[in-house]
Structure 1
Amino acid sequence: MTGGAAGIGRAIVERLTGDGWAVTFVDLDQEAGSAVATDISERGGACRFECADLADRDQRRGLVARTVEAWGGLKLLVNNAAYVGARLSLMELTEEDWDRVMETNLTATAFLTRDAARAMHRGGGGSIVNMATIQELLPLPTHVSYVASKGGISALTRSLAVELGPYGIRVNAVVPGVIQTHGMAEEREHVGLGAAVQDGNQPSLLPRLGMPEDVAGAVAFLASTDAAFVTGSTVTVDGGRSLSRKPDPLAEGLTTRTGQPKQSPEPQQEGTAR
């Protein structure tokens, strides 16, 4: 899987290894990724870590092949890693930033899936789970490249379900809502809000925020034999956020009093994405 060093990604790695999966995960953060792999291995989980920048095509090559070699086959791919990019309006966005977001989020997902599908076909089938975003329906300002890339993930999921189904390969997507991660807290502080969403202000129908383990549970279901007849589907894990009509917990900080988007020049990696 991709993006497993923190937040939702780490919760997925911990859930899958706890369920008995042997997991290779990829992340850009060498220190954090190594720490996660060591922690899980010391608890008896089967886990290995590779540090790679998914926007770098040379670094992506061979990831699937090495995973197959390490574990003797491949039955599951979780495309979780995401790059949000600089918080800029479309009028300020550069082609370089757009390209990096697309390469990390959409292109890497497509071609890692291609490599995984070849291995799964040889092994008699498998499951692919892609991470989409609630922002496809409820976009925030200054997230245009991220939202576009994740909208592409949803379309890619449906297309691949049609194409890979005859080979016994299921392809589904998970759509997280507002999930309480360290990255979310940092983003709220960066745009001038408190780190924590206050009680009573949860942007969902339920009286709490989502946790990374909630998303991990949906991924584990789609990976399991309980979902053996599920493909081309989307599992939304948002506590009813898309129905709640409540303001987004970042919206106030991302927009000034004049209605213009605030700039956030520091790009963010997986963790604040949803």
Structure 2
Amino acid sequence: MDHRARPYRSVLYIPGSKPRALDKARSLPVDAIIFDLEDAVSVDEKVNARGTLAEALAAGGYGARMKIVRINGLDTEWGADDARAVAGMDADAVLLPKVNSPADLDKLAALTGDLAIWAMMETPRGMLNADAIAAHPKLTGMVMGTNDLAKDLQTRFRADRVPLITSLGLCLLAAKANGVVIVDGVYNAFKDDAGLKAECDQGRDMGFDGKTLIHPAQVDVTNTAFAPSEAETDLARRQIAAFEEAEAAGQGVAVVDGRIVENLHVATALEILAKAEVIELMAAGVPK
């Protein structure tokens, strides 16, 4: 399926070491899960987490949810073994933290073979190399690691995220230029729905496909923010109908609600309807 039609609205981090959390994730209405072997797993659980996660994935039950496994960095004592383990798991992609350059992805690909790769974009060097990273032949997705990035950039927190805009924009440009998925960073205050909605709306307006989440309580707000609204799907249908009517009459453009509709608007309208249809199917429990 074209990633522009497949939804990535909500991408939830789940600790790979906790069987109860791994089980609960099977029933959550998320589009994708990042099964985490890195930050969410303590040092003394790192090795055992691989087996716990492999067992959960082998048991299945995750339906149409995209299954992504985040490993520890290849510069750590666990990274290479994580990568080899993930290559044998029932996962859709492997996520590498702190990607600085395509060379980091080459090292991972040597261990994970044909498995699709996603990259954590969370370092200043990674921002400067975003286009080259996005162009890597094994890469299919990028995840903004805004907490680590803010730390390295020594920014102050602002609700409008102005200090991070350049970095977000560079990664968005790289993802769109290379046709890969890109999801926004986490919102830390998981009980602040208004703040979450504002950041989701900002990310959606910028062009992100969805948002990474740290808590199941954030799922509903995020799914709503990144899904086509009723108004958007209604407009899309009317644009398509008007354009087809204009074409049948030998005209190249149509007008809907006082605005010109051209080929490019129809292409966007078709994408909106395709995404809305897949979201509906996923909500009904139909595999993608």
Task: Give the TM-score of the pair, scaled to structure 2.
Answer: 0.35
If you compute each CA radius of gyration, which structure gives the higher value, 1 or 2? 2
Task: Give the TM-score of the pair, scaled to structure 1.
Answer: 0.36
Greater relative contact order (Cα < 8 A, sep 6+): 1
**Higher helix fraction: Structure 1 or Structure 2?**
2
